[in-house]
Structure 1
């Protein structure tokens, strides 16, 4: 077990499980919008994604900063947050760049986010069961990013569906992980603060 994730450290992360759930719900909403309104212009869809990335990144940065106060190792979380904020800012500062360039930004964001999530899940694997949900969301992000980079010229409808399905799967995994770590926190509190794999 990694000592920097044991006891009060991971408990501090578990106490902020709502951040994960909110991120997941935001991704779900964005995904459903992309799936059920796929005929919106690709540029509009990507700008909507930029808003999501910005909010997602801010949530991660806040969580990382709050975790720092408890001594929690938050490097990957901060990295993921900063990448998301940067991607969102790029989307809004250069709205006139081509849709292809914006799709490239999304692809790079997805891969970097996936790597960060897998790295964080690996750190959690000896502390809590259910970390596979976070790892799975990382794998989904990487696969999505690679597919987006490989087929940037796909039709707008196909891209909307691809982005939407990714967001729904990613969001569902995050919500699941958020509730899982919440249950871990409750179990730890009930057992007097002793870390558990429950």
Structure 2
């Protein structure tokens, strides 16, 4: 019993310490919120800029990851370890990064095709699961989810450019909501800190 009580006490202490840390660094939370709001606004009102930035970031990441993977392969080879798959992975990363930077439109369309394929396959699997499922209510929701997923995948495949814009808008909406919640949290933390300072 005492062990459980000490665990609860430790959890409470950690929670208090975490809250105190957030309160001290309310300005960092505010900056994160503002950054998210700016990104969300750009994604919603300038989706083309957002898509181009994402492709460039992805291409740069793949190039760096490819180089680091090949370096790891060389180090593995010097230690008489398996290195073939690492080299292959690194080369694939480099090719993907180069294609993304040289042909950003192709990279975006490839992403949409993959997303459409995933949505269709997962939707079909959900419908199959619904057919095999015994519960009435669960079967209904599985069917609705599966059909919606297939429909979304088909629309993405038929209208890839529109699908990209819509996905960017969703990303922007998420960033706006996330940023607004962080700004609200920062204001709350700032108010709490001011009240604590005044009380002291």
Whether the TM-score (by the shorter chain) exceeds 0.5 is no
What TM-score, normalized to structure 1?
0.41
Mark the structure with the bigger radius of gyration: 2
TM-score (norm 2): 0.41
More helix by share: 2
